[in-house]
Structure 1
Amino acid sequence: MISVVIPTYNRAGLIRQAVESVLVQEKEELEVIIVDDGSTDDTVNIINSMEDDRIRLICLEKNSGACHARNVGIQAAKGEYIAFQDSDDVWYPGKLHKQMKYLLKENADIVFCAFNRVDTQSGRSFAFPTTEICNPHLPVTQDVLLKKNLISTQTMLGRKECFERVPFNENFPRMQDWDLVLRLSHRYCIRFQNEVMVDTRIQPDSLSMNPKAGLMAFRMLEEKYHNVLRTLPPARNRFARHMAEYAVMCGEKVSTCGIRALLSDLSPKERRAMHLAIFRGLTKGFLKRILPHRYRCLGKMSEGYKKTESRH
């Protein structure tokens, strides 16, 4: 049996579609464990109205975060295998059957599929990851995962024992899925199934939500994997750029955000080149996306300056 764990918090408008996309999965025996993390809206009532014997609802008294809710669901699971779904995303029909078949064929402990990222504001979407950055013919190693966060929780299916022995880190402020798969890859065989089987929703301004937590998460990952990152220039450079971006969002000095430790083993020439690459990464598009208000202000100031110049 497959146990599907769904954490939810105040998702009254989306939870039904997410759960129904799980219930329509064919050919697999499953239970759906929904862990409500202290919702204050109509989420619980909507779940209770879905009359299906496969649904088990666990209500937590206080909001403790999605990672805690997932760990509660893992401990309550009766299935030999566990999959995760988020309360605002949608699975494609046949996802579980295809993943189960692939897991057994490849003798893997955990498999994950590609997903379609949908921007709810613009309606645009793109598939991720691609075979250019993730080889479906080889196990996904920690080195590959450090270069980019490839796996989202709702794309995974794995043996229950994997998630019992390596649970979600409830103290991690953000990017908990990245931290989880990095730890899992050290002990278990993870394989990529190159087929889009999930739609994930990108909410408006999601990149700018809680940047302090994002910076803290990168610092924690950098500290934990510092020695490995020293041997992986592409991953190290990406870490440095993202830490710089979050520092800008937080109003911190880039020089104090943790980049010095990350680039400490570089020669002075390499370090200067890396700093230049980082600041080139803080592009006009990045500023427009993350800091729209400040960007508009800067634009108005620039236009005013040009008009003043033209008068002289």
Structure 2
Amino acid sequence: MNIKVSVVMPVYNVQHFVKSAIDSVLKQTYTNFELIIVNDCSTDQSLALCQTFNDSRIRIINHRNNKGLAAARNTGIRHAIGRYVAFIDSDDQWHQDKLRLHVDHLDANPKVGISFSRSAFMRHNGTMTPIYQMPQLTNISAEVLLCRNPVGNGSAPVIRREALNDIRFKPYSHADEYSCYFDETFRQSEDIECWLRMIATTNWKMAGIPQPLTYYRLNPEGLSADVNKQLASWEKMIDKARIFAPQLLKKHENKARAYQLRYLARQAVRSGQGKTAKQMIDKAIAQSPDLLMEETGRTVVTLSAAYLLYILPTSMFKACAKLGQYCIGLRQRWVIGRDGVNASQF
């Protein structure tokens, strides 16, 4: 049987989460896949835990040196034999129907290079929050991708192999150097850089499906926890994008930066960094006051959360946040239901 989907899972020091991540892949209702685990020189028990699984669909590849997430994904892609390549970070999980629904989506839409899903937020301890990532799912232009990154996280996309082939490059001038897809000079923002390069420089489309099929862990120790480093890596991505999409950046860079600052303000709120959250949302509105007009609800919610976290005692803020999340979750589940999906099943 020809393998249709190659699942790539980079692993680095995630001993508390990696078994759950692997289990969520092996329990997929769609079974024609391989799981390529790329061990990026873990120093904890991650590799040993991966080796406890006895499943012929699993391959483990070990890096000789720690190279980072982008390089681990590149290694996985180079070893992948599937028509579609799915990514899952080793601290996240999938709904059991994720691969089946993405395969159906890509099979039915030959011009779509990147299929992604909505995501549900999972607490650090593995319990679910009432909140979802609710990105735009259709009509995604390079401008939309630059400003909002609807994919949202590295465990959401399933990508057509031909689309990846169309953006591969040699990182150096040497002819024998291996091909890359993600830019290995990035330790963060490597995903949005890759997606943007694909949409801005090829004819492939991006589209999402309405089910929340990815369970994204809010990990305070993860790469996305340091919002200042994340902003710096995003700015590095912008510098590169000016080279391959100069007109796009000339027209939309300031607006995109405002959206990114607002996103980082939300990240800071989630990790309890009140001062940083306030600074980020203030900068976002100063960068583009139109945020208050174009996306009033999301901007006001972020602004309110940042200032409440900054002003209120922790216990009082947590009570307010819990109520706010409940109300937002109700609204999000209504939208998901409007799209024909029963959110309670996810």
Question: Which of 99, 111, 127 is the equivalent residue of 2:102?
Answer: 99
- Given the superposition, is the C-alpha separation of residues 120 and 9 from structure 1 closer, same or farther in structure 2, using an over 3 Å criterion? same
Unpaired runs of at least 5, structure 1: 271-276, 293-312
1:175 to 176, 189, 193: 189
Instruction: Give the CA deviation at 1:236.
Output: 4.3
Q: Quick one: percent identity of the two aligned structures?
A: 26
- TM-score, scaled relative to structure 1: 0.73
For 1:308, the equivalent position in structure 2 comes to: none
Partner of 2:158: 157
Q: Verify the 8 A CA contact 2:183 2:194 in the aligned structure 1.
A: yes
The residue type paired with residue 284 of structure 1 is Y
Contact 2:120 2:128 in 1 (8 A): no
- Which residue number corresponds to residue 205 of structure 2? 189
Q: TM-score, normalised by structure 2?
A: 0.66
User: For 2:129, which of 122, 125, 129 is the aligned residue?
Assistant: 125
Task: Render the CA deviation track for 1:153-174: whole Å, top value 9, x for unaligned.
Answer: 2111111232243411111232
Answer yes or no: is the 8 Å Cα contact 1:208–1:249 preserved in 2: no
CA separation of 1:250/1:173 partners in 2, compared to 1, >3 Å: closer, same or farther?
Answer: farther
Cα distance in 1, alignment partners of residues 69 and 214 from structure 2? 19
1:90 aligns with 2:93: yes
1:239, distance to aligned residue in structure 2 (A): 4.1
Deviations 1:166-204 (A, max 9, x none): 411111232222222111222211111111011111013
Indicate whether 1:235 and 2:256 are aligned: yes
User: Which residue identity is paired with 1:200?
Assistant: Y
Corresponding position: 1:201 with 2:217? yes
Letter in 1 for 2:238: E
Question: Alpha-carbon deviation of 1:235?
Answer: 2.9
Match of 2:7 among 4, 7, 30: 4
Matched, 1:221 2:237: yes
Match of 1:24 among 20, 24, 27: 27
- CA deviation profile, 1:281-306 (whole Å, cap 9, x unmatched): 994346479xx9xxxxxxxxxxxxxx
**1:110-143 alpha-carbon deviations (Å, 9 max, x no partner):** 200001012326956255442xx51x3x342211
CA contact (8 A) 1:83 1:156 kept: yes
Amino acid in structure 1 at the alignment position of 2:207: R
User: CA 1:57 to 1:210, structure 2 compared with 1: closer, same or farther past 3 Å?
Assistant: same
* Matched position secondary structure for 2:51: helix
**Structure-2 residue corresponding to 1:114:** 118
Q: Distance in 2 between matches of 1:55 and 1:122?
A: 24
Change (3 A) 1:109 1:129: same
Matched residues in 1 for 2:212 and 2:264: separation?
30
Instruction: Tell me: CA distance 1:245–1:200, structure 2 relative to 1, closer, same or farther (3 Å).
Output: closer
Q: Distance in 2 between matches of 1:16 and 1:22?
A: 10
SS in 2 for 1:33: strand
Letter paired with 2:143: D
In structure 2, relative to structure 1, the CA distance for the partners of 1:172 and 1:281 (3 Å cut) is farther
Taking the aligned partners of 1:129 and 1:244, their CA distance within structure 2 comes to 15
Residue 107 of structure 2: SS of its match in structure 1? helix
- 2:330 match: none
Residues 27-46 of structure 1 mapped to structure 2, 5 A cutoff: 27-46=30-49
Which letter maps to 1:38? C
The structure 1 segments of at least 4 consecutive aligned residues displaced by more than 6 Å after TM superposition are: 242-246, 248-251
Aligned partner of 1:220: which letter? Answer: K
Pairwise CA RMSD of aligned residues? 3.9
What is the aligned partner in structure 1 of residue 144 from structure 2?
144
Larger Cα-atom Rg: 1
The answer to whether 1:51 aligns with 2:54 is yes
2:307 paired residue among 278, 284, 294: 284
- Shift in CA distance, 74/242, structure 1 to aligned 2, threshold 3 Å: same
Deviation at 1:23, TM superposition (A): 1.1
Which is worse superposed, 206-215 or 100-109?
206-215
CA distance 1:288–1:146, change in 2 (3 Å):
farther
Is residue 36–residue 60 contact of structure 1 (8 Å, CA) maintained in 2? Answer: yes
Match of 1:61 among 52, 64, 67: 64
Q: Is the 8 A contact 1:211 1:249 kept in 2?
A: no
Query: Is the counterpart of residue 14 in structure 1 residue 17 in structure 2?
Result: yes
Contact 1:82–1:158, Cα closer than 8 Å, also in 2 = yes
CA distance in 2, matches of 1:204, 1:49: 27
Could you list the runs of 5+ residues in structure 2 that have no partner in the other structure?
169-180, 268-272, 291-298, 315-346
Give the letter aligned to residue 2 of structure 1: V
Q: Is the 8 A contact 2:12 2:40 kept in 1?
A: yes
Cα shift readout 1:210-268 (whole Å, capped 9, x = no counterpart): 4442232132233335753553464343246678999x9999xx9xxxx8xx96xx9xx
